[in-house]
Structure 1
Amino acid sequence: MGLDPDDRTAIFIDGANLYKTARNLGFDIDYKRLLQKTRSETRLVRAYYYTAMQEDRDQDYSPLRPLVDWLDYNGYQLKTKIAREFVDAQGRKRYRGNVDIELAVDLVMMAPKLDCIVLFTGNGDFRHAIAKVQEQGCRVVCVSTTGTQPPMASDEIRRQADQFVDLTDLEDVIARKSAPPQRRESNDDEIEDDDYAEEFSGSDG
């Protein structure tokens, strides 16, 4: 990623956006290899993962739970929020959540303690937060892709970032080499893989 070995660096991951980006490119992220890659390049201070989750009521299975639990035990700081439940036009139970505000606030608050932030998202709504981070002397590297149609990385975020890294350039070093364990068959009341990308892609309306 071209990071400075002396920089105090933190990773901020927009979970739903990164999931959708990698899935559209045809691979899954190996989060252990991602940490190893970053630590080999720079002084990694923290790695944050943001996502909205279905509430585990009555011991219902949440498809994100295995991934979130693994991240929590393996070097990531989890920032989660309970998703809102709604019924779609076909009468199916769905969930919708948004952690953009939490991520943006944490970016700005953490900036004085860091030299560099690696932000995994292509969402242009973060442009203003990135600008505020840069005003505090912190460099911002954004990771997403222009290799999909339409591109997952917005023009706004590519212009604002100090450096843009296309996720396709990292596939060889951070792609999962086998099927991810967090996915399984779901019933209609659960959040399936596609539902994660569709319902947790940043829309809160």
Structure 2
Amino acid sequence: MSCGVRVGVFVDAENVRYNGGYQMRYDVLRRFAGRTGGELLRLNTYMAFDSERAREDYEYAKKARAYQQMVRDFGWKITVKHVRRYTDENGNVTTKANADLDMAVDAMLQANTLDQVLLVTGDGDFLQVVNALQNHGCRVELIGFKNVSRQLQQAVDTFYSGYLIPDLLPISYEPRNDWGNAGSCVRGVCSKWFADKGYGFLRVLKHVSPDLWITDPRDEGSPYMGVFCHANELAEDVNEDLLMNRETILEFYLNESEQKDNGFTASNVRLATSVNR
């Protein structure tokens, strides 16, 4: 049942693809956007397509169009930006397919019918768009992966790291991964670390919920869980400074605890690939 909140989602697909969000799942993103029961009024994504390459590369054209069709099947409107080539005075060719303006204009024009806007990008050029949407009365949320503008994170009402949303990005070497259950590979952050004792606790989002603000796993209403971690399970490049930085995304396996019923311990704890390097 709808809660009456009208939601719009705007995805800067090229920015996401080049900044850690390659293979982002649009079905999971849609479920995340609708987690509070709001009406998903606009689902817009802006993708690049290289027409010149498509004429010469059949496989590229086939895969690109198949991917676009899959995204459309999930109920998204796709705005295709055709790649343009520019040659400088030295003969160097650069390509560009910037959808920033289209996305910004659409978000502003459609804001009249929206109560909440979810932007999926890391581009700081959207800072003025965020301010304008908020002044219009919209709540603005942001999902990004890496290289997310710090100013943009601070300007929105809530920022979510896409790495921490269950199954939003597939874990390529765990194709049957069952996020949150024993044996699964998950991503989380360190919530507490006791260097003198050689252990701490990691925090993982178990499932998408309207109550993402309840971040204390001890609260019965929290969608998060705490995971015990011993220092022996840390990779060599995971130091105390990184652990205590909430922006550090950790990837690890969940194991059933032998000491605590329904509890978990972490093993093979490492920096999430391409996140912190």
Give the structure 2 partner of residue 74 of structure 1: 74
Q: Residue in 2 aligned with 1:176?
A: 170
After the TM superposition, which residues 28-43 of structure 1 pair with which residues of structure 2 at under 5 Å, given as runs?
Answer: 28-43=23-38
The 1-side partners of 2:143 and 2:49 are apart by 23
Tell whether the 8 Å contact from 2:162 to 2:168 is kept in structure 1 after alignment: no
| Match of residue 53 from structure 1 | 49
Name which one, 1 or 2, has greater alpha-carbon Rg. Answer: 2
Matched-pair contact (CA < 8 Å) for 2:27–2:74: yes
Q: CA deviation at 1:178?
A: 5.8
Aligned twin of 1:101: 101
| Equivalent residues of 1:8, 1:42 under 8 A apart | no
Q: Indicate the SS of the match to 1:41.
A: coil
Q: Trace 1:1-205 onto structure 2 (pairs within 5 A).
A: 5-23=3-21, 28-43=23-38, 44-55=40-51, 58=55, 60-61=57-58, 62=61, 63-86=63-86, 95-145=95-145, 148=146, 152-170=147-165, 172-176=166-170
Q: Structure 2: which 5+ runs fail to align? A: 174-277
Looking at secondary structure, tell me which structure has more strand per residue. 2
Residue 20 of structure 2 aligns to a residue in which SS? Answer: helix
Which letter does structure 2 place at the counterpart of 1:39? G
Q: 1:65 to 1:87 in 2, by over 3 A?
A: farther
Determine the structure 2 residue equivalent to 1:185: none
Cα separation, 2, equivalents of 1:174 and 1:51: 18
Residue aligning to 2:251: none
TM-score calculated relative to the size of structure 1: 0.70
Q: Distance in 2 between matches of 1:11 and 1:37?
A: 10
Matched residues in 1 for 2:37 and 2:99: separation?
27
Shift in Å, 1:50: 0.5
TM-score (norm 2): 0.53
Give me the whole-angstrom Cα distance separating, in 2, the residues matched to 1:98 and 1:32. 24
What is the Cα-based RMSD across aligned positions, in Å? Answer: 2.9
Judged with a 3 Å threshold, the aligned counterparts in structure 2 of structure 1 residues 6 and 70 are, in CA distance, closer, same or farther, namely same
Larger helix proportion, structure 1 or 2?
1
Aligned to 1:137, the other structure's residue is in SS state coil
Partners of 1:135 and 1:118 lie apart in 2 by 15
Q: How far apart are residue 141 of structure 1 and its match?
A: 0.2
**Residue 20 of structure 1, CA deviation:** 2.3
Q: Provide the rounded CA distance (Å) in 2 between the counterparts of 1:85 and 1:118.
A: 31
Q: Distance in 1 between matches of 2:79 and 2:148?
A: 22
1: CA distance between counterparts of 2:68 and 2:93?
Answer: 22
Give the unaligned 5+ runs of structure 1: 180-205
- Residue-pair matches, total: 167
Is the 1:54–1:95 Cα contact (8 Å) retained in structure 2? no
SS at match of 1:173: coil
SS at match of 2:167: helix
Following superposition, the deviation at residue 116 of structure 1 comes to: 0.4
Report the CA distance between 1:127 and its aligned residue. Answer: 0.4
Equivalent pairs: percent with the same residue?
A: 25
CA contact (8 A) 2:139 2:157 kept: yes
Provide, for residues 111-133 of structure 1, a one-character-per-residue CA deviation record: whole Å limited to 9, x for no partner. Answer: 11000000001100000111111
